[in-house]
Amino acid sequence: MKKEKWHQLGLLVAIVALVTGMGAFPAQAKSAAKTKTVTFGQLTNKNPKRLAAIRQAARQQILKQKHAKGSKVAAVYKVKLPRHMNKKATLTAKGLRMNLLANSFKVKQITIPYTQLKGKVLNRYLPKANRTKAVKTTKMVALTFDDGPDKTLTPRLLKTLKKYKVHATFFETGQNVSRYPQISRAVLAGGNELGNHSWNHPDFNRIGTAKTVSQITRTNRAIYQATGTLPQYVRPPYGNITAAEGRAVEQPIIRWSVDSRDWAYLNKNKDINEVMKDTRGGDIILMHDIHSQSVAAAPTIIKRLKAKGYKLVTVSQLLNNQALPGLQYFGAHDYRTVGK
């Protein structure tokens, strides 16, 4: 009887071990199933502008992964990244994993978080939390401010935005960012976003592609040095940029649909009237945070727009995170190929 009991006990232990092992195996299989090999053609529906957006996100990830200093920003644009739709990558639980060719960063592989690929990769390849959804822009407008940061006026404007619980997009010049990096950090800390407005405000149409790229890269470096983040967007001074420059830059170009002409008026009331008479849902409003009159006009503009039922958002929110390199955006539903 004792032998029989011991035999039954041993059999029970074996069954428990087997069941436990079987319970673990499906979990491992489930984990393995989270990875899937795809081509960039699948991810982008063979859209080269989407692929350029993935390259843009990859550059940010390389810098982040290496904890790179600002001095390495120029080098990241020399890293060879996928340009052919048949190249492959892997969807993982953490993001899109890509293998890299030999590069100066000595990085063999990166994983771009899905949060950085929203609007760049087709929705079906993204987790539900990172997919774009249709948004109504009939009561949305984006306030944008150029030429800062200014030592005194930009902090004053940030206080106004915080008071009225709205956010804006700031297109900053590299030379000013390098002077006041703490203010650029404050812009982001307030929930706003930063864009590239060249190094020292030249007319890109007059300086040529090579110098334009240098202006933008130098400013990207200044913004990265100040904030640890590459700016997503470029706003060319005077709105001028050629098709060749747009292709070389590989960042979405942001224009505007409402020009406050605050730089010409330098008059608070005229600034307010100009914005209010022209603004409609889906508009991008151009102002400057280097003029005291413009900053003084901001509270009234915000209050009046809100009274009309408008929600003031960042450019990314207005464009539903779907802006792509090679295109220039004038408003929520008005975009064209760069140079046209």
Catalytic residue among 167, 197, 288, 291: 288
Q: Is 288 a catalytic residue?
A: yes
Quick one: tokens of 1? 């009887």
Cα 96 versus chain centre, distance? 17
Q: Is 333 a catalytic residue?
A: no
Catalytic residue among 146, 147, 262, 271: 146
Contact residues for 79 (Cβ-Cβ < 8 A; gap 6+): 58, 59, 62, 100, 101, 103, 104, 105
Q: DSSP readout, 10-73? A: HHHHHHHHHHHHHHHHHHHHHHHTT-EEEEHHHHHTT-HHHHHHHHHHHHHHHHHHTT--GGGH
> Are 210 and 121 contacting, i.e. CB atoms less than 8 angstroms apart?
no
Residue 339, judged by CB atoms within 10 A of its CB (0-12, 13-18, 19+), counts as middle
Active site residues: 146, 288
